Amino acid sequence: MADIKRPIGNHGVIGDLRTCALVADDGTIDYFCWPNLDSPSIFTALLDSDEAGVFSLTPEWKASRRQQLYLPDTNILQTRWLAAEGVAEITDYMPICEQQDTKPRIIRRLKMVRGEGRFSLRCAPVHDYARATPKAKLRDNAVLFSADGQPTLRLTATIPLSLDRQAAVASFTLKTGEHAEFIFGCAQDEHLDNLQTDICFKETLHYWRSWCHQSNWRGRWQEMVKRSSLALKLLTSWQHGSIAAAATFGLPEELGGERNWDYRASWIRDASFSVYALMRLGYVDEAKRFTHWVGHCVENSHHDKERLQVMYRLDSATELHESELPHLSGYGDSRPVRIGNDAWRQTQLDIYGELMDAVYLANKYGEAISERGWRNVCSTIDYLCEHWQEPDAGIWEMRGEPQHFLHSRLMCWVALDRALRLGMKRSLPMPYERWDRVRSEIRQEIWQDFWDPEQGHFTATRHGKSLDASMLLMPLVRFVGATDPDWLSTLDAIKAKLVRDGMVWRYDREETPADALSGREGSFVACSFWYVECLARAGRVEEAHFEFEKLLSYASPLGLYAEEFDFHGYALGNFPQALSHLALISAAFFLNRKLDGDDPQWQP
């Protein structure tokens, strides 16, 4: 990673439940979409050079140690420098303001803790994914930035600012105990004085700590579970109830490769898993708001209400047309950089299972399903009864020919199973015999057509030979017993072919013709945590514990995960990734219970 100026894992993330910004450990904000998470970026240096938009604030010291940490139980980030000349720190946060007419703002407070230091600032937003021509002007010691001739953004500061090449710049000195403050937000925002920013800070601190303290988690790995839940919360929309798959677009799954997708949307699958993870920690309100959001998604699918899309925009709109940004060089020269995601057009039958699992649990631990909600469930399950045998793109969104994937069949079974359970629990009207018959047919087909007697394990595709890490969900969704001999032989086969030092690849590309893209990818973080949970459920608890500790060591210094690991365990892909963090929570939840009750024998 030495050739990358600011590696993915060397970032913290801040946000206000509308959008997120990435702050590198050198004090640079090099990624920020505004005003919403899926709006065009205004700081895009992470995917190009600093000319693509950056907000840097750093001491002019030749040698210093850099650190980042979150204030306990919050998403308020501190970046610190320790040098012979002194100690300095920046506190970065975005105030939480659940009002339609208030746009997101970033507040940066620089403090000289000890000693004396000279600092440099450069704030240079470039609108529209760095495609616009920057325009800036100085007014009343604030710098206004414009797009299409209209002021859009403003930087105010407690130190003098000046202009340099359409950027706000400053060079200044602070001594022990002195501080400088910078507010970056909407051009129409009122100026905030020190008293108001103190109030903003206290309110933001209170918000995150109050939310965090709602958790009922009392087990091991408190800090990692807490950080994962806070990361998931950052990806939720206070306005819509949706949950984004990640905060970023275009970050590569392979350096120099073409697998560079936009994850600033809500996948039914990922969001459903996120709700499950948050509910396990006691956050039921997020589950309620997510189910309402899904209802809006169904209503917006005007042409075919029974058929859910794979993903939706954060506001539940249906179209996410994919395009490329050829003017960007890409992270580590990884091109093309894509925005939008054509996977919204795909058929992925597994999403019905993930959604129904979340709906079932939301009803079990939260709010009872509404009459309209149950009618939507019935029409969706009836649709699935007619279409479950069709090939699809699968969980990994293959861009080759559709296949009959085991995971898709598995989750169709889950959808029928959870709908039947929910209907029975709530005494709701349903075509029980039909649904039960289809559930049995799916189960029978999986055991007959997705089992290879020669190799002695399940296979990723019907009558196929290859393995797929999504098969790790089979015992997790209670399709097969975690200690069933046929499942254990499958688990051992996955360990032999797809696992490397606890890191799990999704599949072997050479054995997966549906993967029509060039190059390869890193190992998948979520699959790695699924593997840990499967080991624990199988009774191999000490082995699971050791593998889990390895995975924790691969986290970023702040405890965050991207989508994948490279061969060295460093972050690859979009960041932070919801699926990675929710899988960590699930693995920690089950492993903690097993460690409290089991005494297995295992030697590394």
Domain count, the chain: 2
Q: Which residues pair with 108 in a beta bridge?
A: 92, 182
Residue 533 sits in the same domain as residue 585: yes
User: In angstroms, rounded to a whole number, what is the distance separating the alpha carbons of residues 369 and 371?
Assistant: 7
Do 265 and 294 have their domain in common?
A: yes
Please report whether residue 199 resides in a domain. Answer: yes
Claim to verify: residue 204 and residue 284 sit in the same structural domain: no
Collapsing DSSP to helix, strand or coil, 183 comes out as strand
Residue 5 lies in a domain: no
Q: Is 199 left (phi over 0), alpha (psi -120 to 50) or beta?
A: alpha
* Residues 426 and 508 both lie in one domain: yes
Sorted by sequence, the CB contacts under 8 Å of residue 500 that are 6+ apart come out as 523
**Looking at residue 558, which CATH number applies to its domain?**
1.50.10.10
Q: What is the mean pLDDT of the chain?
A: 92
Q: What is the pLDDT of residues 191-206, one digit of tens each?
A: 767 768 899 999 999 9
Report the interhelical angle of 525-537 vs 485-498 (nearest 10°).
140
End-to-end Cα spacing for the chain: 29
CATH number of the domain at 129, please. 2.70.98.10
Per the CB < 8 A criterion, the answer to whether 418 and 360 are in contact is yes
Would 602 be classed as within a structural domain? no
Q: Are 324 and 420 found together in one domain? A: yes
* Number of C-beta neighbours around residue 174 at 10 A: 21
Q: How far apart are CA 202 and CA 357, in angstroms?
A: 38
Same domain, 527 and 480: yes
What residue numbers bound the domain in which 198 lies? 11-212
Whether 144 and 287 map to the same domain: the answer is no
d(CA 381, CA 436): 11
420 lies in some domain: yes
> Do residue 183 and residue 317 come from a single domain?
no
Q: How many CA atoms lie within 13 A of 209 on its CB side?
A: 10
- Compute the chain's Rg from CA coordinates: 25
The one-character DSSP state at 50 is G
Higher pLDDT, 320 or 510: 320
Domain end point (choices 212, 247, 263) = 212
Looking at the fold, whether 100 and 198 belong to one and the same domain comes out as: yes
Tokens 């590569």: give the residue.
252
pLDDT at 362: 82
Does the residue 3 lie in any domain? no
Domain boundary among 212, 236, 266: 212
Clarify whether residues 116 and 188 are in a common domain. yes
pLDDT exceeding 70 applies to what percent of the chain? 95
- 25 and 166 inside one domain: yes
Is 182 domain-assigned?
yes
* Among candidate residues 212, 272, 214, 215, the one with its CA nearest the CA of residue 242: 272
User: Of 190, 212, 234, which closes a domain?
Assistant: 212
Q: pLDDT (tens digit, 9 = 90+) per residue, 269-302?
A: 888 888 888 888 999 888 888 888 888 887 876 5
Is 603 inside any structural domain? no
Among 43-47, 176-180, 236-240, 393-397, which stretch is predicted with the lowest mean pLDDT?
393-397
Tell me if 246 is assigned to some domain. Answer: yes
Assess whether 164 and 238 both reside in one domain: no
pLDDT digits (tens, 9 = 90+) for 124-173: 999 999 999 999 999 888 999 999 889 999 999 999 999 999 999 999 99
